Amino acid sequence: MASRIAYIPREEPPKRRPAKRGNYLAWLHSLPCVVTGRNDVQAAHVSFAAPWHGHYGRARGTKAPDRFALPVCASEHARQHNMSESAFWDSVGINPHELANTLFGIWSDYDEQEATSRATSRILSGLADAGRLPSRDLA
């Protein structure tokens, strides 16, 4: 007997935009850059859609929801804006929607001190796996 795969209709984007979360963006600024590990980051919003991860892109004239922002140093943030955004994230080997959801979940689940420690560990582990962990000798 052949099995059938149920058809699941495409999910529609939400009717209202999510609320801005200034305290989340402020917390992101305490984390290292997800690309280089440097400090002094900016909140880089991921603009391209990925409905599987709950991101429907951005409306005309608006930023993407804060939940889809990542801590990125100024030079990498500028590079992100100077090329195709999906090509930028592919070039650094990061799934930005997955990482953004992970960081937002950590921020939501723990108090600020523990969230900062866990998120920093996750970012540095990702950099180590990619062979981009900054050397302590350069500090």
Give the model confidence (pLDDT) of 61-120 as tens digits.
Answer: 556 788 889 999 999 999 999 999 899 999 999 999 999 999 999 999 999 999 999 999
Q: What are the tokens at 124?
A: 């540095």
Domain assignment of residue 15, yes or no: no
Domain assignment of residue 2, yes or no: no
Range of the domain at 66: 22-132
Closest to 48 (Cα-Cα) out of 65, 73, 25, 28: 65
Domain assignment of residue 98, yes or no: yes
Domain assignment of residue 87, yes or no: yes
Domain assignment of residue 16, yes or no: no
Residue-wise pLDDT for 119-130, tens only, equals 999 999 999 999
Q: How many domains does the chain have?
A: 1
